[in-house]
Structure 1
Amino acid sequence: MSWQKRVFEFPGGFLEVNDYGDDSTEQRADMRFRATCLGYLRTDVSGIGQLWDESQMRQRAAQLGYDFAGVVVYDPASGRPPLARLKAQVNRLDAEAVIVPGPEHFEGGRVPGALVEQVDVVTLHPEETYARGGRSTMRPIA
């Protein structure tokens, strides 16, 4: 029996279907979903290394098996709250994680606890994951 593999993409994942070309009961569809993640960086911290940081975030997302939706770039000169756009994008895309070059891209050089309550936060330097659900490597704020 021969079959043909078909792949259909949709926002947030893809559907892989094995088409046997007949109406047999052996047909089956395998749904494979990859969780979505976003990148986040500050232009004043990345500076001229912004493209390098973006490529490193994309590479890390691929290593972790995430569907990388894009990078939220924060420019302090905009006068907007630093995490407002990031949180809005996380909600809109139903993202599971945010990847950042390092904790220095957040206010005070610390990963915000409010963000960790919503998504997993992965830092590249140092390589750490701040996981939802209380099992994280975050140090308590004194």
Structure 2
Amino acid sequence: MDSSASNFPHTAGDPRGAMARTTRLVEFPGGVLELDSYGTPDDDYPGDREDRSEMRYRPTCLGYLRTDISGMSQLWDEGQIRKLAAGLGYDFALMVLFDPTSGRPPLARLKAQATRLDARAVIVPGPEHFTGCRVPESLMRQLDVITVHPEQTYSRYPGWDRRRA
């Protein structure tokens, strides 16, 4: 039998030489990733390097808009929120839409999702999407609030401990 004709793709008859299957577990914020690779033990694997500067944490953000305020511009507003999130280096997780005809409190779902996703910021098209065209203090206790137009950031209160919220 010819040694190059084998049922196993990674054998001595393989021109690439003997390959070993390696499973690596890589931890990142929010989970664990299992990586399967084939190679020789001498292969340089990026995960084996001491320099971990390539793996960066990106904070999570949410989008929020009121459907009655956005109206026909809703898709445009959503796109602008996503574009700004990417430009600021956020990991955009979810768009929270508020419909005032639902009868629910305006910020209840936003705050609940922010807590569940451990979000650091919320991006809104403008301050007019909040009652009275003002960013609520209760929201600034939990998140940075960023408006698209005008582009402005309302930072969380300094020294505020989220665990006490």
TM-score, structure 1 length as denominator? 0.77
2:87 alignment partner in structure 1? 63
- Structure having greater relative contact order (Cα 8 Å, sep ≥ 6): 1
1:35 alignment partner in structure 2? 59
Secondary structure of the residue aligned to 1:34 is coil
Within 2, Cα distance between the matches of 1:65 and 1:13? Answer: 20
The offset of 1:21, in angstroms, is 5.5
Q: Is the 8 A contact 1:97 1:120 kept in 2?
A: yes
CA RMSD of aligned residues (A): 3.1
Within 2, Cα distance between the matches of 1:110 and 1:21? Answer: 60
The offset of 1:10, in angstroms, is 6.8
Within 2, Cα distance between the matches of 1:34 and 1:12? Answer: 11
The answer to whether 1:109 aligns with 2:133 is yes
Cα deviation, 1:62-97, whole Å, max 9, x if unaligned, reads: 000000012100000000000000000000000000
Question: Unaligned regions of 5+ residues in structure 2, if any?
Answer: 1-23, 159-165
Within 1, Cα distance between the matches of 2:27 and 2:81? Answer: 22
User: Structure 2 matches for 1:41-120, cutoff 5 A?
Assistant: 41-120=65-144
Counting aligned pairs with the same residue, the percent is 66
Question: Unaligned regions of 5+ residues in structure 1, if any?
Answer: 1-5, 135-142
Within 1, Cα distance between the matches of 2:129 and 2:67? Answer: 9
Would the alpha carbon gap of residues 71 and 55 (structure 1) be closer, same or farther in structure 2, given more than 3 Å must change?
same
Would the alpha carbon gap of residues 121 and 13 (structure 1) be closer, same or farther in structure 2, given more than 3 Å must change?
farther
Would the alpha carbon gap of residues 34 and 81 (structure 1) be closer, same or farther in structure 2, given more than 3 Å must change?
same
Within 2, Cα distance between the matches of 1:106 and 1:57? Answer: 16
- Please identify the structure whose Cα radius of gyration is greater: 2
Aligned residues: 126
